């Protein structure tokens, strides 16, 4: 059974990159991650956070490893204790216009720009070529290796999930509150039955829907 000491050690291990940057003179180290690159509908959301390192939040981890309930709980703790945080949303029309990778980059840059307190170094979950004027380090599977990236992954995921639950109220037949726009069989069947709605990514559903609306 996992103890508080085990969790403290896990979190300390997730500060390896942050502590290395700190020794190099970077005092405000932030993390960035996104949610929503794969869904058939809805936006891609990026979050940037600068987390305190003297008051680690138990449970912070890659958002994909957490339950929805746990993510919601941690989201509130992260937002209330972060030195700074910001979220950027890039909608489906821009995703279709620029492609998902470029849209994700746009979201990262916008999240950085919106930060009231700017980090002097950034840890980013495996996306490069960002037009951001500070030292940036890309880490593969960074949401499992960096405390700040993990916190950003939770903020981005919860923010996007809440948006999709709101879209569900407008377009209930697609069940967005359940699958958050991902390509589940019931979602694809809803597209085949009802056609796409305004938040569907047209470039993502060409093999599902070939009728009007594309």
Does residue 24 form part of some domain?
yes
Does residue 149 form part of some domain?
yes
Q: Dihedral sign, CA of 204, 166, 86, 68? A: negative
Does residue 128 form part of some domain?
yes
Does residue 46 form part of some domain?
yes
Does residue 158 form part of some domain?
yes
User: How much is the pLDDT for 126?
Assistant: 86
**Mean pLDDT for each consecutive 10-residue tract of the chain (214 residues)?**
91 97 97 98 98 95 97 98 98 98 98 98 93 96 97 98 98 98 98 97 95 61
Residue span of the structural domain in which 91 resides:
4-165
Total domain count, the chain? 1
Does residue 175 form part of some domain?
no
CATH code where residue 14 lies: 3.30.420.10
Does residue 204 form part of some domain?
no
pTM of the model: 0.96
Q: Is 7 helix (H, G, I), strand (E, B) or coil?
A: helix
On whether the CB atoms of residues 30 and 94 are closer than 8 A, the answer is: no
Q: How far apart are CA 68 and CA 102, in angstroms?
A: 28
Does residue 126 form part of some domain?
yes
């Amino acid at each position: 059974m996992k103890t508080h000491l085990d969790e403290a050690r896990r979190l300390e291990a997730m500060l390896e990159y942050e502590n290395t940057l700190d020794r190099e003179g970077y005092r405000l180290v932030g993390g960035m991650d996104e949610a929503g690159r794969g869904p058939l509908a809805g936006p891609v959301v990026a979050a940037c956070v600068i987390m305190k390192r003297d008051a680690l939040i138990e449970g912070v981890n890659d958002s994909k490893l957490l339950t929805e309930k746990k993510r919601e709980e941690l989201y509130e703790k992260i937002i209330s204790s972060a030195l700074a945080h910001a979220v950027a949303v890039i909608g489906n029309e821009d995703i279709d216009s620029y492609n998902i990778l470029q849209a994700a980059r746009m979201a990262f840059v916008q999240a950085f720009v919106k930060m009231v307190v700017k980090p002097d170094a950034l840890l980013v979950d495996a996306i490069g070529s960002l037009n951001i004027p500070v030292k940036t380090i890309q880490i593969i599977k960074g949401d499992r290796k960096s405390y700040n990236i993990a916190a950003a992954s939770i903020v981005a995921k919860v923010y996007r999930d809440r948006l999709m639950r709101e879209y569900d109220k407008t377009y209930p037949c697609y069940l967005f509150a359940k699958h958050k726009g991902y390509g589940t069989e019931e979602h694809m069947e809803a597209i085949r039955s009802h056609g796409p709605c305004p938040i569907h990514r047209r470039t993502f559903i060409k093999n599902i829907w070939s009728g009007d609306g594309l």
